[in-house]
Structure formats: structure tokens, C-alpha cells
Structure 1
Amino acid sequence: MMTQITENVPDPVSKTGTTLQTFPRFSVRETRKSTIVAFLAWTVAVYDYILFGTMLPRIREDFGWSSSQALLISTFVSIGTAVVVLGVGPLVDKLGRRKGMMFTVGGTALSSVATAASGGALSLVLTKSIGGLGLSEQAVNATYLNEIYDVSESEKVRRNRGFIYSLVQSGWPIGALLAAGFVAVVGSLFGPENWRIAFLIATIPAAVIAVICSRLEESPQFELQDRIRRLQKSGKNDEADVLARAYGLDVHRSSSFKRIFDSSNRRNTIVLSLVWTMNWFGIQVFSVLGTTVLEEAKGFSSNSTLVLVVLANAVGALGYLFCGWAGDRFGRRNTIIVSWTISALLFVVLLLGPSTAGFVLPVYMFALFFLMGPYAALNFFMAECYPTDCRATGATFIGAMSQPGAIIGGFLLTWLVAINIGFGSAALFVGCIGILASGLLMLGTRKIAAKA
């Protein structure tokens, strides 16, 4: 695939005046196919991940845990998830984006079936930790699609790549919506105590999509980097340098992990890691444990809570489309900062306001709209900050910092509940402050024009 384009596409010129090689274009059909598959992969990964938080009250009842014990188990799951996610990025930068998507979605299927078979706290922590593969899928597909859209033959795709990617990222609220809706169906058909059935059924679509991912085309940018790497490994460093220069690239021999902390990438790696950590205080409280917040803090029944979560996530999905569109036009960083500030304020209003469905539902809807939507802009912003040789490592490393956020936020929430501060107040201190802080931290990031 690494041949110069023969179409009437103007070739770029290097600083020395030499005409550079260009990557082959991805057809509109292949671009569309890759986008759809990435959307489905992320949706089923989120379904498995959110399903645990949605089912936590039922799991707690089944195993006889207290509320603080259940929160502690959720925190340990986050620790295991973080360990798994950290290993995905370097693997994807070495093996490829297509294989990375197969691996992460396949891990989702494994996590689902293993969770259905779990027999207690330890086995549940271990099996749900495997779900870190699914959680890292968003960084993998952001890396893949960033490269695909960059070489798409569609001018419209290249111009509106942020908005198009937001369609993929909307798999988060849709996955959460499916999880909540499916829990309601399983509960009505088999009883709420049969929570294992929901996880077992989730295995099927994840396994099917993992197979479909194997039929995707690899990105030409990764294929070039892989070819350069193989030349270096065989001792043909001069040939590797010539090939890299032909495409206007610099050859780096350090590991992808070291690359994300070099002088050109260090600032964004550190700041964005802190952004994810703080924002996941809010994600853990208001999305992963959303049903628990509505039951414990606002006093809704389990059935009413599921209805509220389904309706709220339906509207929340539109937040991705809005933020993807806004990011293309007003800047991804600006969109993220404004949206998270609004979200933090809305969650404060939610927790301090009345506990009526007429009030809680619209406020929760728009709070999720502005909490989840910016991730459409954020994931693409991250992918744009790194060159191909360390793009997946950078994106997955930063994404993995969600789990320290979930861990710290989970421990803080558990501690505050244990000292009887009240679930509503605990959620306000942990979730709302975390969301607001993450928005302000985005001011410290800087855009780097990533090379292919």
C-alpha cells in the first residue's frame, strides 16, 4: 500500500524542495465501513463496562454486600482495569490498529462471559478487570480513525472529521442506554436477581464484532511505520531513514512510551492525564454509578431509576454530536472547557434541587449531555497530538488515567459515605468538583500538529 498516489492530488514538498511521497487514499466505502465498525465496537465495549455499574445494586443484594462494600469492590475493579489498559497502547503501536480493535473487542466478550460466571468479590474484580480491554477500545478507534480520515478520498470527511468521529463516540451513551434498557428487560423477564443473564448475552455481539474487525483495512500510516520498524530491526537503518524521509517523517528509535514524554509531547501527556483523572471523578459518580446516585441521593426506586437513566442517556448521546460539530468549528479545547463547566454546574443543581422526576430528568439529561459529549472532541484532540509511531500509546496512556480517577473518586466517595456525610453531599464534593477541575485543566494543553 505504501506507493505514491497516482491520482491528481498535489504532492507535498519538503523543506529541501524534494517532492514527498503521499499515502494512498481510503475510499469513501472503506471510510464508511471503518466508521460503522468502530461505532459498533465502542458501543458493545461500553455496554459491558456500564452494565457493571448499572447492575451493582443487584449484584450487591445477591452477594449480601453493604453500600460501602459495593463501592469498594467497584474501586478495586477500577484498579485492575487501569493495569490492563496501560498495556494496550504499546501493543497497538507494535501490532497495528486493526489487530488492536480485534483484541480489545474480543476482550470485551471475554469479560462479559467471565463476569456471568463469577462467584464472589475476588473473581468479580478479576473478571471485570479484563473489561479494561474494552475500555481502551475508544483510544484504539480514535487512533485508527484519525489516520483513516486523514487519508480519506472524501474532502467532506477530512473537513468534518471531528463531527464524524462524534458519531462513533456516541456509542458511550448508546451503550449505557442499552445496558439500562436490557437490565429492565432481563429484570422483568427473569427477575432482578438474574443479573448474570445480561452479561452472558453481551458476549454474543462483542464476539461477532471482533470477527468483523478482522476484515478492516490497516491504516497506511501504521503500515509505513511498521515497514520502517522492520527495516531497523533487520539492521537496514539507512534504508529506514531514506523511506522515512521520502514521506517527510523523522525516524525515532526510542520506545513509544518514551516518545510520549519527550520534549515535544510531554506537556500534553501530563496535562491530559490530569484532565482524565479529574473528569473521571464525575464519570464514576454520575455515569458508572448513575443508578446508585439516583437511588441513594434522590430517593428513586430501582425501576424508576432505570427509566430515568435510559431517557437521560438518550439525550446525552446528542451531546457527542454537538461537541464533535462544535469542536470542528470553535476548537476542540474550547468546546471541552465550556461544556464541562456547564456540566459541573448542572450536577450541582441536580443534587441540591427537588427529587421529582419532572425536575431530575431534564437536569440529568443536559448534565450528561455536557459531561459525555466533550469526549468526542477530547479523544480526537489526543490523537491529533501525537505522531503515528506513538499515537496509540499516547492515547491509551492518557485514557488509562481514567482509572486512577475512578479509583481515587471511588475511595473518596466510599469514605464520605462511610462517615455518614450523605450520598448526595459525597457525590457533589467528588463528582462536581472533579468535572469543573478537569475543564479548567484543559487550559494547560497545547495543540501539536501531528505528523503522519
Structure 2
Amino acid sequence: MSIKPSDLNLDQNSLTSRDVTYASIVALVAWTLSVFDFILFGTLLPEMAKTFGWSTAQMANIATWVAVGTFVISLTVGPLTDYLGRKKALIVTTSGVAVSSGLTALSIFIPSSIYVVLVRALSGFGYSEQAVNTTYLSELYDDKKRGLLYSFIQGGWPIGVMLASIVTALLEPLIQWQGMFAVGIIPAIIIVLLGIKLKESPRFLHLKHVRTLMRQGKQEEAEAYGRAHGINTERSTGFTYAQLFSRQDGSMRTTLFLGLAFMLNWFAIEVFNVLATTVLTEGKHINFGNSLWLLVLANAVGYAGYVFHGWLGDRIGRRETIAIGWILGGLAFAAMLYVANGYWSVLIFQSIGSFFLNGPYSALFVFMSESYATRMRGTGTAFINAMGPIGGILGALVFSILVSTNMGVLAAALIGGALPLTLSGLVILATRRIEPGKSLEELAA
């Protein structure tokens, strides 16, 4: 039986401002929760190691293999988003957080490093929740305010980081590490239930209708409907990963340079976010307690960076906004390492660096979603997003090698963090420029 557009509720006007607001709230909380779980594992890994008797080398190996597993799981999220839908993908990724967190809590009864690696690999669903968010919300938001609106959602990263730190400090002494992971199941289940009431993206429903018509053999009707809604019917049924590397429409260039820029940027994320306390304590000789407060303040400034870069990208273009931010971030961190002397000067340059390192991510994820057509938007954003853990592994490896050569922490942070950050800003300029304010129909078919 033929499915009519009206049966799928394809009318854009059927999506009210209340629906968009609700979707934004659910996406923000889902992303904050995903970050909470993602950060929680790194925070509690030393406590797990004490319980199971793991050495420092074993912890490092476990963290590395978890990152590899996260990468593999992340690759599945793109096709899921493009074939099952944005709404279902959001529910699945959030469910993945609950499952991963719950199974991690059960590791107290299964003291196996292999088991921990396998269940933590499922956190790749939570990590990829941001890719689903940008695919979904970019198709809902107003064309001229897409970056600004999404910036508030992407800001769930610093919120999740600070929440994980605070909750761990308050509850871990009472319920221990396994209790912390068990607690994480409850909010994840709540978000899954809230996600059921979300409305699907009209852009995806148009694509779904075209695919349905083509399966029914109604080629002419599918082509006419596709032309009316900016959908390339010739390529709407092809394998999305193959299309990411197609030269025909420039997708290969987009994928290669976006992926390289994102991977290089994660070198800096690893050095100045994950290994920040090491850089500050050993490199700048700031005591551990002060370094933690410094990072909290820097994260607060970083949230303002999300909003600023989201707003700026709507005006001058997202590619240019990202490039300028990352280049300035590299210079700020270099100044923090070699110019700043004393707590307050380090705080200033660390905050500026965080502002320009983390802030452009609000523009970056919208830029990803605009760079790919509807038929492969989820796959494109998820694939580029999956380059993050790979960059993190390489960044940690490079930093460790440089430190082991007696180069010193400051030089290692400069070469392994600040320099790749600046390079990522230059590499992003090799991607296609996208004029701000354009509708997704105008940007890509």
C-alpha cells in the first residue's frame, strides 16, 4: 500500500515551537548525562584498579582498549541515525549509556579487564549522542539561528564534566565506585522514556518517504517528491559510508579534512583537558588543589565560549569561526606554557585557551551537519565524531613519548597539544565554505 505524505506527518508546520523546545531539553539532558558517564569512568578507574589490583600499566591498557571499543561502537551510530531515524537513534544512544553504566557496576562481581573493556565500549553510544543531537536539531532549528541555538546543547559537555566531579566527590565515599555507576542508570532510563514523546525530524521523514516510494517502484513520483524537498533520489538508497568518500559531490574532501582537523584537535583535548592537572602541577608547579579549581573556572569560561562561537558562526560562517578559534587557542596555550608565570596569569591564559579550544565545538557540530546531505548526515557526523577517541589515543601516546625523552612537560604540551590545536584550525580551512543562514535544502541535496 502506498504511503502518502500526510500519513507521515511531513508538514513542517506540524512541528511547533513547543516541540522544538522539548527536543532541545531532552537532547541537552541526554548529552549532559552521556558526558557524565564518559567522564565518570576516567575519574573512577583508579578506584576500580585498587579493587581489582590493576597496575598503572594495566589501567593504561584498559583505557586504550576502551577508547578503541568506543570508536568501533561509534561507527554504528551513523547508519542507525540515517536509516532508523533521528528520534530512534537518540533513544538507542541514551539506552546505551544506561546499559554500559549498569554493566560496569556489575563488574564488581566479574573482576575481568576484558569484561570491563567490552561493557565500557558500549559508552561509545553515549559519546556519539552529540552526533545524533546535531543531526536531529540542525533539522529542527531556524536556519539563521542554528549555531546559537545548538551552542546551548553542546554546552552540556562542561556541565557534565563538572557534574561528574561534584557527584563523585559527594557520593563515592558513601556508595563506592560500583554504586556510582548503578546510580547513572536511573536518569538514563528517564531520558529514554522522555525521548519516546519526541517528534521525528521532518527532513528525515521526507527522506523516508522517498525511500518508500522507490521501494514501491514509483520512481517518477519519488524523483518529483525528492526535487521538491532537496533529496537526491539517485543516491538516497546507497550505503552511507561509501558515500562519505565519494568524489562526485565533494564528500571525500569534506570527510578527509574534517576528520583530520577533528583528530588533531583531540590531541589538544587530551593534553589540556584530560592531562591538564599533570601539565599544571608538573609543568607550571601549581599544587593539585589549586589546579582543580583552575580547571573548574576554565570550564565555566569554556561554556561561554560555546555560546559565543555558536553566535559568531551564524554571522561570519562556521568554518571561519572554527579556524580562528582553534588558532587563537593554540597561541593562548603556548603563552600559558611559556609566558605565564604565577597562578593568576596561568588562570587567565588557561581560560582563554579553553574558551577557544572547546567553544568552537558548537559551531563545529553544526558545520558537520550542514556539510552532509540528509541521506548521510547522521553517518557523516558520527564518523567525524568517532575520530575523537583516535586523536585522544594518539595525543596521549605522543605526550608520553615526548615526556619520556626528557624533553620536559612544557615542551611536550607545546608540541603534543598547542601545535596540533593550531594545525587543526588551519586544516579546517581546506573544507568547503558554507554560507551562514542557508537552509539545509539549499546546502546539500
Q: CA deviation at 1:213?
A: 1.2
Question: Helix, strand or coil for the counterpart of 2:15?
Answer: coil
Given candidates 171, 182, 189, the residue that maps to 2:156 is: 171
- What's the CA shift for 1:142? 0.4
Q: Is the 8 A contact 1:68 1:417 kept in 2?
A: no
Q: Is the 8 A contact 1:278 1:405 kept in 2?
A: yes
215-224 vs 358-367, greater mean Cα deviation: 358-367
Q: With structure 2 as the length reference, what TM-score do the two structures score?
A: 0.87
Give the match for residue 244 of structure 1: 226
Please say if 1:229 is aligned against 2:220: no
Aligned to 1:161: 146
Matches of 1:108 and 1:331 in 2, distance apart? 34
| Deviation (angstroms), 1:60 | 5.0
Q: How many angstroms does 1:254 deviate by?
A: 2.0
Structure 1 stretch displaced more, 430-439 or 280-289: 280-289
Cα separation, 2, equivalents of 1:126 and 1:310: 31
Contact 2:5/2:209 (CA < 8 Å) preserved in 1?
no
Residue matched to 1:394: 380
| Alignment map for 1:63-212 (pairs within 5 Å) | 69-118=58-107, 119-149=111-141, 157-186=142-171, 189-190=173-174, 194-212=176-194
Aligned to 1:254: 238
Distance 1:123 1:421 in 2: 37
Single out whichever of 433-442 and 64-73 deviates more from structure 2. Answer: 64-73
Instruction: Provide the C-alpha distance between the structure 1 equivalents of 2:50 and 2:334, rounded to a whole number of angstroms.
Output: 29
In the alignment, what sits opposite 1:154? none
Tell me the distance in 2 between the aligned counterparts of 1:379 and 1:85. 15
Relative distance call for 1:248 and 1:413 in structure 2 (3 A) is closer
Kindly tell me: are residues 51 and 367 of structure 1, through their superposed partners in 2, closer, same or farther at Cα, counting changes over 3 Å?
Answer: farther
- Aligned residue identity for 2:164: A
For 1:258-337, list aligned pairs within 5 A: 258-262=242-246, 263-264=248-249, 265-299=251-285, 303-337=289-323
Compare 225-234 and 418-427 and name the one that shifted more: 418-427
Encode CA deviations 1:275-296: one digit per residue, 9 max, x unaligned.
1111111112222343444455
The verdict on how the C-alpha distance between 1:244 and 1:345 changes in structure 2, with shifts beyond 3 A counting, is: same
Gaps spanning 5+ residues in structure 1: where?
5-20, 150-156
**CA–CA distance in structure 2, aligned partners of residues 406 and 363 of structure 1:** 22
**Structure 1 residues 341 and 62: CA distance shift in structure 2, 3 A:** farther
Report what 1:217 is aligned to. Answer: 199
Q: Deviations over 1:351-380 (max 9, x none)?
A: 346675434333322221111110100100
**Aligned AA (1:287):** N
Q: Which has the higher helix share?
A: 2
Q: Which amino acid aligns with 1:241?
A: E
Aligned partners of 1:75 and 1:410 also within 8 Å: no
Give yes or no for contact 2:309–2:363 (8 Å, CA) kept in 1. Answer: yes
Q: What is the deviation of 1:400?
A: 1.0
Deviation at 1:54, TM superposition (A): 3.4
Describe the SS at the equivalent of 2:184: helix
Residues 339-358 of structure 1: pairs in structure 2 closer than 5 A: 339-352=325-338, 356-358=342-344
Partner amino acid, structure 1, of 2:91: M
Matching residue of 2:24: 35
Larger mean CA deviation between 107-116 and 265-274 belongs to 107-116
Contact 2:340 2:349 in 1 (8 A): no
Residue 347 of structure 2: aligned partner: 361
C-alpha distance in 1 between matches for 2:302 and 2:384: 23
2:443 paired residue among 425, 441, 450:
450
- Root-mean-square deviation (CA), in Å? 2.7
